């Protein structure tokens, strides 16, 4: 597995502002992912963060709204831009960290709980 930390753990923000969420992993990983989980809902993939290249966004998510950085193999940031109350959610980063005989196993950070007023 992997030890993953996220900052901040929670925040309350005003409409129209932006928040940058950090994700730090204790070892180098190739694949990092950003998810959103709205109250009572399952996980929705926002984008895959690739080191050294542009992030790959899922349908319904765009770079202008959710810019992502991946400067190295242990760190990524997700920015939620020009926030509205609809962006209130839990944002989770995950990493793919397989061991021998496994693949696609993802491990999640503790999440960032965002409330937009």
Contact residues: other proteins, CB under 8 A: 1, 31, 41-43, 45, 48, 56, 92, 96, 102-111
C-alpha closest to that of 11 among 22, 2, 3, 1 = 22
Residue 6 or residue 74: which is nearer to other proteins going by CB?
Answer: 6
- For residue 40, the minimal CB distance to other proteins (Å) is 9
- For residue 111, the minimal CB distance to other proteins (Å) is 5
C-alpha closest to that of 90 among 56, 32, 43 = 43
C-alpha closest to that of 28 among 8, 62, 7, 51 = 51
Residue 47 or residue 80: which is nearer to other proteins going by CB?
Answer: 47
Give 77's contacts (C-beta < 8 A, 6+ positions apart).
20, 21, 22, 23, 68, 69
Residue 43 or residue 73: which is nearer to other proteins going by CB?
Answer: 43
- For residue 42, the minimal CB distance to other proteins (Å) is 4
């Amino acid at each position: 597995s992997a030890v993953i930390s996220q900052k901040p753990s929670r925040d309350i923000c005003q409409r129209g502002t932006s928040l940058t969420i950090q994700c730090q992993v204790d070892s180098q990983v190739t694949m990092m992912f950003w998810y959103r989980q709205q109250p009572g809902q399952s996980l929705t993939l926002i984008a895959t963060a690739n080191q050294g290249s542009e992030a790959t966004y899922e349908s319904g998510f765009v770079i202008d709204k959710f810019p992502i950085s991946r400067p190295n193999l242990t760190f990524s940031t997700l920015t939620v831009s020009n926030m509205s109350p609809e962006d209130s959610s839990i944002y989770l980063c995950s990493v793919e960290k397989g061991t021998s005989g496994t693949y696609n196993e993802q491990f999640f950070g503790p999440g960032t709980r965002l409330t937009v007023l």
